[in-house]
Structure 1
Amino acid sequence: MTNPQPDSGAPDSAEDSPLGDGDLAALLERLLAEADRTQKELAEASGIKYPTLNAWMNRTRGTSRINPDHLRKMAQVLRRWGAQVTPREVFEAAGRVVPGPTDEEREARLLRIYRALPARQQRSLIGIAEDMAAAIRIS
């Protein structure tokens, strides 16, 4: 499943290559073999509980709710181990839209705006953000 990505304004060619595997389990299996590493090593290096990673690998747990930071961290660890993979490939294999790059300045600005709002509007903003995230998961 490939979803068009909004232009974040910051090109990241490391995230722009095509997906070669059918799902996250297949991709991780190939990459772990390529890096000559184990699931346990990947779980430990990525900060993911081994039973959770193992459930993704055995396809007994869905991938639609994986924390995006975990997907990015797995890609980062695998690349450090010499595997040829991009964050885009990992996100797409998990059936997820690749989020824009993290920008601390934008996050801080959003937090300042949120903190300046009355409680009712804070709840509304959270609801809007949740609706946006749900729409991305559905598409």
Structure 2
Amino acid sequence: MTSHQQDPGAPEAEHPAPAGEDLAALLERLLAQAPDRTQKGLAEEAGISYQTLNAWMNRTRGTSRIDPEKLRAMVDVFRRWGVDTNIREFHQAVGRPAPGPTDRERESRLLRLYRQLPEEKQRLLVEDAEVMLKITSVS
């Protein structure tokens, strides 16, 4: 495991974004740490359209509603490129609370429980999770 990789079950190290650093500033800083890489390469590898990424970089498109999986995809790309970053930095840069650490065992258990529920209970569980996420976003 290299210095920029982490055990998937381990809590992510604290890398607080510099005070006031928005997504554009974060991306600019991280891209500077990978001088042979480009915005276009980041967009392609993260599965984001170049136009969208460029709009975030130019601050012409809002970032508060970015899908968390897109943030995670960018983190993964930067890590593959050897740049030390984490999901907490990205969430801070878009002004939302960072998710808890990934715990594969807990996720597997939740999925096993979900699969055992009748369809209506699965739907309710998803709705409850969405409400919890909205409450977390507001507070």
Q: TM-score, normalised by structure 1?
A: 0.75
* 2:32 matches 1:33: yes
Give the drift of 1:22.
Answer: 2.0
Counterparts of 1:120 and 1:73 in 2: how far apart (Å)?
31
Q: Structure 1 unaligned segments of length 5 or more: list them.
A: 1-8
1:35/1:81 contact within 8 Å kept: yes
Counterparts of 2:22 and 2:98 in 1: how far apart (Å)?
15
- Tell me which amino acid in the other structure corresponds to 1:77: V
Counterparts of 2:122 and 2:25 in 1: how far apart (Å)?
41
Equivalenced residues, count: 129
1:1-139, aligned counterparts within 5 Å? 10-13=10-13, 16-20=14-18, 21-36=20-35, 37-139=37-139
Counterparts of 1:112 and 1:83 in 2: how far apart (Å)?
34
1:64/1:137 contact within 8 Å kept: no
Counterparts of 1:115 and 1:87 in 2: how far apart (Å)?
28
Q: Which deviates more from structure 2 when the two are superposed, residues 89-98 or residues 55-64?
A: 55-64
3-state SS, counterpart of residue 11 of structure 1:
coil
- Tell me which amino acid in the other structure corresponds to 2:15: S
TM-superposition CA deviations, 1:33-82 (whole Å, max 9, x none): 33223210111122222122122212233222323232223223224434
2:17/2:26 contact within 8 Å kept: no
Counterparts of 1:81 and 1:118 in 2: how far apart (Å)?
43
Q: TM-score, normalised by structure 2?
A: 0.75
4+ runs deviating over 4 angstroms: none
Counterparts of 1:108 and 1:23 in 2: how far apart (Å)?
33
Q: Structure 2 unaligned segments of length 5 or more: list them.
A: 1-8
Counterparts of 1:45 and 1:112 in 2: how far apart (Å)?
31
Give the drift of 1:131.
Answer: 0.2
Counterparts of 2:17 and 2:86 in 1: how far apart (Å)?
9
3-state SS, counterpart of residue 124 of structure 2:
helix
